[in-house]
């Protein structure tokens, strides 16, 4: 077993990781993250092929603050994964081990990889295939929400496919259990999939916060993208893309939507109209410009909006993305139950 086969360019902590290496034999790299690497691994006694996510928790490549964030997020992820274990459309955490330098998370091996890569290869998916994938995703999200869990980072990169093409939701690093009646305010996720509520929380201290609905916004992003093959809200300049999300500027352009059925158009249109009504209702409740109004919704004032855009990189610069091609967002917001009903219409 070579050094490269183990953990990138670093040797593992043999004392703390002894149990993992006695049980599993790590093989080639099948994925990489900022502070982690994913390898195929083999159960030494049964020969079963699995995947192990090896998360580095050393101070050599991270500040003390970053190190603590990675440790905390990983422990929370393990807790959530144990809570949702057993759902057919959610990745199963099989084992977990921790040493002083690495955390090992053993999962099912998803041979077909990320939905993001699959979509990149196919460009667009048929309505039938989209319906199947979205049903599985929405059922997984509904399951999470029934347990008061918000994922907060739904995107094709965090959706995996097995060798039969079945979907499993993964990467719960940003997920959190949210008690009923409470709201979140943290700025986290991937820019192209963020709901306006998350962006507004970062700009307005008086904003009431956000909840489970942000996951459904991301589901809408994914639904649109699978059907159109391109993002409805995208710009090479991230600040302009975020403005498009905040203002709800998008279109069903030709030829992307020319060959789509009336049923799927109706589903997308209904979700969009409901989201627009919600946004318009908030706009109507605004009062004449005062200190309080400015504090509550500074982005609604053109001059302030320009100032915000000019400084936006300070807020979003720390986010990690695979590349600009994943900057996808859409104007969809509803509940998992209603979206599932829409998919049932497609099946009829």
Q: For 302-314, what is the HEC assignment?
A: HHHHHHHHHHHHH
* Short-list 220, 167, 233, CA closest to 338: 220
Q: For this structure, is 153 an active site residue?
A: yes
Q: If you write DSSP's letter for every residue of 255-292 in order, what string do you get? A: TTTTTS-HHHHHHHHHHHHHHHHHHHHHHHTPPSS-HH
Instruction: Tell me what pLDDT residue 323 has.
Output: 44
Instruction: Tell me what pLDDT residue 58 has.
Output: 80
pTM score: 0.74
CA–CA separation, 28 and 4 (whole Å): 9
113-347: CATH homologous superfamily?
Transferase(Phosphotransferase) domain 1 (1.10.510.10)
Any idea what DSSP says for residue 164? T
Instruction: Tell me what pLDDT residue 150 has.
Output: 97
Query: Any idea where the domains of the chain sit in the sequence?
Result: 3-108, 113-347
Instruction: Tell me what pLDDT residue 234 has.
Output: 79
Cβ atoms of 189 and 201 closer than 8 Å: no
* Short-list 11, 18, 6, 15, CA closest to 52: 6
DSSP, collapsed to helix, strand or coil, labels residue 316 as helix
Question: For 238, how many CA atoms within 13 A lie in the half-sphere containing its CB?
Answer: 23
Question: For 295, how many CA atoms within 13 A lie in the half-sphere containing its CB?
Answer: 6
Residue 184: strand pairing partners: 210
CA–CA separation, 190 and 101 (whole Å): 27
Pull the structure tokens for residue 272: 């969009």
Provide φ and ψ at 27, rounded to 5°: -120, -140
Measured between alpha carbons, how far is residue 138 from residues 5, 86, 88 in Å?
Answer: 37, 16, 12
Question: For 5, how many CA atoms within 13 A lie in the half-sphere containing its CB?
Answer: 9
Any idea what DSSP says for residue 173? T
SS (H, E, C) 30-80: EEECCCEEEEEEEECCCCCEEEEEEEECCCCCCCHHHHHHHHHHHHHHHHH
Which is the catalytic residue, given 4, 108, 117, 153? Answer: 153
pLDDT by residue for the chain (348 residues), tens only, comes to 333 334 444 444 465 688 999 999 999 999 888 788 999 999 999 999 999 999 988 877 778 888 888 888 899 999 999 999 999 999 999 999 988 888 999 999 999 999 999 999 998 899 999 999 999 999 999 999 999 999 999 999 999 999 899 999 999 989 999 998 899 999 988 888 889 889 988 888 888 999 999 999 999 889 989 998 877 777 788 888 888 888 877 777 777 777 888 777 677 666 665 555 554 444 444 445 555 656 666 666 655 655 565 555 444 444 434 444 443 333 333 455 555 555 555 555
| Max CA pair span of the chain | 71
Instruction: Give the CATH architecture of domain 3-108.
Output: 2-Layer Sandwich (3.30)
Cβ atoms of 160 and 167 closer than 8 Å: yes
Provide φ and ψ at 125, rounded to 5°: -115, 155
Instruction: Tell me what pLDDT residue 236 has.
Output: 81
CA–CA separation, 56 and 34 (whole Å): 9
């Amino acid at each position: 077993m070579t050094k490269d086969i183990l953990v990138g360019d670093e040797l593992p902590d043999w004392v703390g990781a002894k149990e993992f290496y006695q049980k599993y034999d790590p093989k080639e790299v099948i994925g990489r993250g900022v502070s982690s690497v994913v390898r195929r691994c083999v159960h030494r006694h049964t020969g079963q092929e699995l995947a192990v996510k090896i998360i580095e928790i050393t101070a050599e490549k991270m500040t003390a603050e970053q190190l603590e964030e990675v440790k905390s997020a990983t422990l929370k992820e393990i807790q959530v994964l144990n809570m949702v274990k057993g759902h057919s459309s959610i990745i199963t955490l099989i084992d977990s081990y921790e040493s002083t330098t690495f955390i090992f998370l053993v999962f099912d091996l998803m041979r077909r990889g990320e939905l993001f890569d699959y979509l990149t290869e196919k460009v667009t998916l048929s309505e039938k295939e989209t319906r199947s994938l979205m049903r599985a995703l929405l059922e997984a999200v509904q399951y999470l929400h029934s347990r008061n869990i918000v994922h907060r980072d739904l995107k094709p990169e965090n959706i995996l496919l097995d060798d039969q093409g079945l979907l499993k939701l993964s990467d719960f690093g940003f997920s959190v259990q949210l008690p009923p009646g409470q709201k979140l305010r943290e700025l986290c996720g991937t820019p192209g999939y963020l709901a306006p509520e998350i962006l507004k929380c970062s700009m307005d201290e008086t904003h009431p916060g956000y909840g489970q609905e942000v996951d459904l916004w991301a589901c809408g992003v994914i639904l649109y993208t699978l059907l159109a093959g391109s993002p409805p809200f995208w710009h090479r300049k991230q600040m302009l893309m975020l403005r498009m999300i905040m203002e709800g500027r998008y279109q069903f352009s030709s030829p992307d939507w020319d060959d789509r059925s009336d049923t799927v158009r109706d589903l997308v249109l209904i979700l969009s109209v409901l989201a627009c009504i919600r946004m318009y209702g908030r706009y109507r409740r605004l009062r004449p410009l005062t200190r309080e109004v400015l504090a509550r919704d500074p982005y609604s004032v053109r001059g302030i909006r320009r100032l915000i855009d000019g400084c936006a990189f300070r807020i979003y610069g720390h986010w990690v993305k695979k590349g600009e091609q994943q900057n996808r967002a859409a104007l969809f917001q509803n509940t998992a139950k209603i979206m599932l009903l829409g998919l049932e219409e497609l099946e009829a």
